[in-house]
Amino acid sequence: MKRLAWAALACALQACSTAPITPAAGVQGIQVNQVGFLPGSAKWAAVPETASGAFSIVDANSGRVAHRGTLAPPRRWEPAQEALRLAEFSSFTSPGEYRVHVDGLPDSPRFAIAPDAYAALNAAAIRAYTYNRAGIELAPQQAGAWARTAGHPDTRVLVHASAAGPGRPEGTVISAPKGWYDAGDYNKYVVNSGITLYTLLAAYEHFPAFFQQQSLNIPESGNGIPDVLNEALWNLDWMLAMQDPADGGVYHKLTSPGFDGAVMPHQSTGPRYVVMKTTAATLDFAAVMAQASRVLAPFEAQRPGLAARMLVASKAAWAWAKAHPAVVYHQPSDIHTGGYDDDQLGDEFAWAAAELYVTTRDDTWLSALKLSALPIDVPGWPNVGSLAWITLAQHRLQLTPAADRALIERRIVELAAKLADAWSASPYRVALQNDDFIWGSNAVALNQALMLIQGYRLTGERRQLDAAQAALDYVLGRNATGSSMVTGFGERSPRHPHHRPSEADGVDAPVPGFLVGGPYANQGDTKGCPLPYPSKAPAKSWLDHFCSYTTNEVAINWNAPLVYASAALQVLTPGARSARLSALATR
């Protein structure tokens, strides 16, 4: 996600005018999660209001009717500016491949009911990070059609004037290899890495058994470290190099001066810079390194000394931030890439303190946390206070006596209840409201799921799990665009994401496993796009075209809650396969 307007740059390039367009739809079809459901999932579809009163679930291959139900009365869902009727079939649990049928309408896209319904989705959502790795060749045996040459070794990176210090004057050459391309561009940003790594590491910390049995066919597979952690390490290793060893401060980003055109990574060869140390980047670094030190401690044999080094790095970063508590990012005049500027830093201080506290069990950090004054809400890259709450709740049974465990549980449960209420009241059965259709709205839905799942893990209240399921349904096709929002998943899914490798690789299908940003009410890129949005309705403001960087870009922080939610629902949803993993999950 970028705050910069890069329409002019992205769409002045030839790439905007070439690709064929999947009609994005003024969809009047049946909307359903196109990946599908676990047998025990709550199951909903949405049907246009004109439909008759009955629906059926039909076998996708034979056409045989497998289940019959009655449509709920039509209700208007404001974000889509239309009325729909809901079809609930939660009681139907037979594994198979199905479509929703309503007389007079085309059948819905195909979906599955399967005990491992989200296993492939989860694997692909993690492998999307592998595809976005800097500094590595992707071999055909691992990357298939999307194999590519290495780009951006980042072993000779220049210290920008804004980042110069006594030990490293402007122009000093440093090495900061590996890391993930942040989004559809080829730059690497510490702030957005913060919430991204947090969410991936939390997924592992909360559901270790699920990830321990997963093999992703990535370059490190089989090395004794679960692959989700191997993938996280690719970016953690880069981040360690973003800290100035002289003072503990952390550079805000590693970037080209401007955005590249639609080229492959190895074709982007200009100079790269580390730019400006900031308080936000340094605190996000401190938080993630304290968390990673804890999560990676069991893998001392594979990475000797790493966990200890991360904790030292975290404390050094904290010390720099305390001494420089309000250094906000200001874009230098010769740098034009993403800003990720954030001038509200209380949440970053709290999150870093929480991770240091849980990892060290030292009450000094608990005092620094100022817990009673810390708000809780649906998180996003500039709004990370909730990550502190999640970590404290996860470790609530091991905290020191000074911690207010009741407060920690209450705050999580209050937010989850509020979100579940919004889901219950929604005519469309999603927690999203009209003003949630911001840049990256699909990740808003999934971060709502993240918080609902935390509530469910504390209360066991089924409606909190079902509301989280609804958020996953939403990004997988039960939405007003009628399309899945994850590349490669669903009969209708994004074909032209704002993702340079997908645009430039000559492969018809986009790189799979990426969540696109999704509907954005402001439709901020219309000037650069050769075709109009299908509707003014907030929930339909999505364009499956490379030009639409505000609705069809990919980003590491958006995929992370997809990884979390798909794993959590696979593990926590009552049912045969999940029960075993649920018993093994840390509660």
Using CB under 5 A, pick the residue from 394, 426, 502, 557 that binds Ca ion. Answer: 502
Amino acid found at 127: R
What's the closest the beta carbon of residue 354 comes to Ca ion, in angstroms? 14
The residue (of 495 and 540) whose beta carbon lies closer to Ca ion is 495
Contact flag: residue 377 with Ca ion (CB under 5 A): no
Residues 455, 462: Cα–Cα separation, whole Å: 10
Displacement of CA 378 from its chain's centroid (Å): 13
* Minimum separation from the CB atom of position 344 to Ca ion (A): 4
- Residue 234: partners with Cβ closer than 8 Å, 6 or more residues away: 129, 130, 133, 178, 179, 180
Q: Which is nearer to Ca ion, 301 or 373 (CB)?
A: 373
Window 130-169: residues binding Ca ion (CB under 5 A): none
Options 41-49, 119-127, 367-375, 504-512: segment touching Ca ion (CB under 5 A): 504-512
Least distance from Ca ion to the Cβ atom of residue 20, Å: 12
| Both structure tokens of 468 | 């989280």
Is 143 or 157 the residue whose CB approaches Ca ion more closely? 143
Catalytic residue among 206, 473, 544, 545: 544
Closer to Ca ion by Cβ: residue 233 or 556: 556
In three-state secondary structure terms, 214 is coil
The window from 114-122, 507-515, 523-531, 566-574 that contacts Ca ion (CB under 5 A) reads 507-515
Strand partners, 553: 498
Distance CA 476, CA 241 (A): 37
Question: Looking at 17-25, 478-486, 503-511, 579-587, which segment touches Ca ion (CB under 5 A)?
Answer: 503-511
Q: Which stretch binds Ca ion (CB under 5 A): 97-105, 256-264, 283-291, 345-353?
A: 345-353
Distance of alpha carbon 237 from alpha carbon 535, whole angstroms:
44
Shortest reach from residue 199's CB to Ca ion, in Å: 16
Cβ atoms of residues 486 and 248 within 8 Å: no
Least Å distance between CB 574 and Ca ion?
37
Q: Provide the residue type at 158 as one letter.
A: L
Q: Is 185 a catalytic residue?
A: yes
CB atoms within 10 A of CB 269: 12
Residue with smaller CB distance to Ca ion, 347 or 525: 347
Interaction of residue 505 with Ca ion, rule CB under 5 A: yes
Indicate the residue among 63 and 375 with the shorter CB distance to Ca ion: 375
- Residue 507 binds Ca ion (CB under 5 A): yes
Contacts of 239 (CB under 8 A, 6+ apart): 179, 190, 193, 197, 250, 285, 288, 289
CB of 381 to Ca ion, least distance (A): 9
Structural contact between residues 491 and 512, judged by C-beta atoms closer than 8 angstroms: no
Query: In the complex, what is the shortest distance from the CB of residue 349 to Ca ion, in angstroms, rounded to a whole number?
Result: 9
* CB neighbour list of residue 88: distance below 8 Å, 6 or more residues apart: 42, 43, 44, 69, 72
Residue of 498, 503, 525, 545 with catalytic role:
498
Say which of 182, 342, 355, 553 is annotated catalytic.
553
Q: DSSP state, 105? A: S
CB of 498 to Ca ion, least distance (A): 12
Does residue 344 bind Ca ion (CB under 5 A)?
A: yes
- The CB-of-289 to Ca ion minimum distance in angstroms stands at 18
CB 198 within 8 A of CB 563: no
Choose the catalytic residue: 154, 182, 185, 227.
185
Pick the closer one to Ca ion by CB: 63 or 140: 140
Whether residue 300 lies in the annotated active site = no
Coil vs helix vs strand at 499: coil
From 372-380, 382-390, 430-438, 572-580, give the range in contact with Ca ion by CB under 5 A. 382-390
**Contact assessment for residue 340 and residue 278, using Cβ atoms and an 8 Å cutoff:** no
Coil, strand or helix at 111: strand
Bridge partners, 243 (sequence order): 250
What single string gives the DSSP state of each residue in 45-98? Answer: EEEETTS-SEEEEEETTT--EEEEEEPPPPEEEGGGTEEEEEEE-TT----EEE
* Residues contacting residue 457 through CB under 8 Å, at least 6 positions apart: 206, 393, 572, 587
Whether residue 544 lies in the annotated active site: yes
380/575 with CB nearer Ca ion: 380
- Is 342 one of the binding residues for Ca ion (CB under 5 A)? yes
Write down the H helix ranges in 219-326.
227-240, 279-296, 306-323
Say whether residue 347 binds Ca ion (CB under 5 A): yes
What number of chain residues touch Ca ion (CB under 5 A)? 7
Pairing state of beta strands 273-277 and 44-48?
Answer: unpaired
Cβ closest to Ca ion, residue 281 vs residue 539:
281
What radius of gyration do the chain's Cα atoms show? Answer: 23
Within its chain, how far is the Cα of 277 from the centroid? 25
Q: What is the DSSP letter of 374?
A: -
Q: Provide the pairing of β-strand 111-113 with 36-37.
A: parallel
* Binding of Ca ion by 284 (CB under 5 A): no
* Minimum distance, C-beta of residue 342 to Ca ion, in the bound complex (Å): 5
Considering beta carbons, is residue 463 or 496 the nearer one to Ca ion?
496
Q: State yes or no: is 553 an active-site residue.
A: yes
SS (H, E, C) 301-319: CCCCCHHHHHHHHHHHHHH
382 binds Ca ion (CB under 5 A): yes
The H or E element containing residue 360 is helix 346-360
Residues at the interface with Ca ion (CB under 5 A): 342, 344, 347, 382, 502, 505, 507
Q: Which residues are catalytic?
A: 185, 498, 544, 553
